[in-house]
Amino acid sequence: MNRTLAGVAWVALYLLVVLVPMFLMLLPPLPSGRTFWLEFAVALGFVGLIQLAVQFVLIARFRPLTAPYGIDVILQYHRQIALVAVAVILVHPVIIIVDNPSRLELLNPFGGTIASRFGILAILALSTLVLTSVFRERLGFRYEAWRFTHLALGLITVAFAQAHVSLAGLYTNAPWKQAVWVVSAVMMLCLVVYLRVIRPWRQRRSPWQVSRVESLPGATVALTLEPQGHAGMRFAPGQFAWIKLANSPFTLEEHPFSFSSSAEDTGRLEFGIKGLGDFSARVGSIPAGTTAFIDGPHGAFSIDRYQAPGYVFIAGGVGITPIMSFLRTMADREDPRPVLLIYADTSLEEMSYREELVPLEKRLSLAIVDLPEKPPPDWEGEHGLVDADLLGRVLPEERFARDVFVCGPPPMMDAVQAALLARDVPRERIHLERFVLA
Amino acid sequence: MRHFLANIALYVIAAFLVSGAALFALMRSTQFVLTDEETMLAHYRPAAGESFEWRELGERTYVANCAGCHGRDGTGRDQYPPLATAAALLPMHGGREYLIDLHLYGLASARRRAPMPPMGHIPDVALAAAMNHVLVEFGQLQLFAPAELLITPAEIAARRGAGIRPQDVEQRRPR
Distances (CA, A) of A408 to A312, A313, A421, B7: 14, 11, 17, 20
Residue A397 φ/ψ, nearest 5 degrees: -60, -45
Contact yes or no for A32 and B64 at CB 8 A: yes
pLDDT at A1: 54
Chain segment A209-242, per-residue pLDDT in tens: 999 999 899 889 999 999 998 988 999 999 999 9
- How many helices (H) does chain B have, and how many strands (E)? 9, 0
| Exposure class string for A8-33: b at 16+ Cβ within 10 A, else e | eebbeebeebbbebbeebeeeeebeb
Query: What type of residue sits at position A425?
Result: V
* B19–chain A Cβ distance below 8 A for any pair: no
* B3 pLDDT tier (thresholds 50, 70, 90): confident
A37: CB partners within 8 A, 6+ apart? A95, A98, A99, B25
A14-18, B82-86, B156-160: segment of lowest average pLDDT = B82-86
Mean pLDDT in residue range A337-356 = 92
Q: Distance between CA A31 and CA A42 in Å, rounded?
A: 13
A247 with A291: CB under 8 angstroms? yes
**DSSP state at residue B107:** B
Q: What is the mean pLDDT of residues A286-299?
A: 90
Question: What are the contacts of B45-51 at 24+ separation with CB within 8 A?
Answer: B45/B125, B45/B153, B46/B152, B46/B153
pLDDT of residue A438: 44
pLDDT band of A436, cuts 50, 70, 90: low
CA distance A360 to A332: 10
Given a cut of 70, whether residue B9 has pLDDT beyond it is yes
pLDDT value at position B35? 54
CA of A116, closest CA in chain B: separation in Å?
10
Beta carbons of B13 and A15 less than 8 Å apart:
yes
pLDDT at residue A278 is higher than 80: no
Cα separation, A196 vs A59, whole angstroms: 11
Amino acid at B142: Q
Q: Read off the pLDDT of residues A172-205 as tens digits, 9 standing for 90 and up.
A: 888 898 999 999 888 888 888 888 888 899 888 8
* pLDDT band with cut points at 50, 70 and 90 for residue B18: very high
How far is A2 from B53, CA to CA, in rounded Å? 65
Taking residue A98's Cβ as centre, other Cβ atoms within 10 Å add up to 13
Name the pLDDT band for A437 (thresholds 50, 70, 90): low
Residues in B touching A34 (Cβ below 8 Å): 28-29, 121
The Cα–Cα gap between B128 and B13 comes to: 45
pLDDT of B103:
93
B115 CB near a chain A CB, below 8 Å?
yes
Confidence of residue A397 (pLDDT cuts 50, 70, 90): confident
The number of C-alpha atoms within 13 Å of B9 and in the hemisphere containing its C-beta is: 21
Q: What angle do CA A49, A55, A57 make, to 5 degrees?
A: 120
Q: Do A126 and A164 form a contact (C-beta atoms < 8 A)?
A: no
Beta strands in A281-387 (DSSP E): 291-298, 311-316, 339-345, 366-372
Q: Which of B28, B114, B118 sits opposite A33 (nearest CB)?
A: B28
Is a pLDDT exceeding 50 seen at residue A11?
Answer: yes
pLDDT at A35 over 60: yes
* Mean pLDDT comparison of A23-27, A100-104, A363-367, highest-scoring range: A363-367
Which segment of A23-37, A73-87, A120-134 scores lowest on mean pLDDT?
A: A23-37
pLDDT in tens, A123-171: 999 999 999 999 988 988 888 888 889 999 999 999 999 999 998 877 8
Please give the average per-residue pLDDT across A99-128, as a whole number.
Answer: 87
- Tell me the C-alpha distance between A92 and B55, whole Å: 37
Q: What is the torsion angle, in degrees rounded to the nearest 10, for the CA atoms of residue A325, residue A327, residue A332 and residue A338? A: 150
pLDDT reported for residue A256? 87
Give the best residue of B13, B16, B28 to mutate against chain A (max A CB count within 10 A).
B28
Contacts of B152 (CB under 8 A, 6+ apart): B46, B52, B128
Confidence of residue B76 (pLDDT cuts 50, 70, 90): confident
Residue B37's φ and ψ, nearest 5 degrees, are -60, -40
Q: Helices in A344-385 by DSSP H: which ranges?
A: 354-363
DSSP B10-61: HHHHHHHHHHHHHHHHHHHHTTT-SS-HHHHHHTTSPPTTS----HHHHHHH
Closest partner residue to B2 among A81, A106, A300, by Cβ? A300
Distance in Å, alpha carbon of B49 to nearest chain A alpha carbon? 31
What CA–CA distances, in Å, run from A10 to A52, B91, B171? Answer: 17, 64, 57
B144 pLDDT more than 80: no
Please tell me if residue B80 touches chain A, with a CB cutoff of 8 Å.
yes
pLDDT grade for B85, boundaries at 50, 70 and 90: confident
- What percent of chain A is predicted at pLDDT more than 70? 99
pTM: 0.72
Q: Mean pLDDT throughout A356-377?
A: 92
Closest CA to A189 of A147, A151, A242, A144: A151
Q: What Å distances lie between residue B166 and A374, B78, B106, B117, B175, CA to CA?
A: 72, 21, 5, 8, 18
Q: What's the complex ipTM?
A: 0.82
B32–A contact, CB cutoff 8 A: yes
- Check B27 against A80: CB less than 8 A apart: no
Pair A297, A240: CB distance under 8 Å: yes
Among chain B residues, the shortest Cα distance to A173 is held by: B68
Q: Measured between alpha carbons, how far is B29 from A138 in angstroms, rounded to an integer?
A: 45
Residue B112's pLDDT is 79
In this prediction, residues A62-91 reach a mean pLDDT of: 90
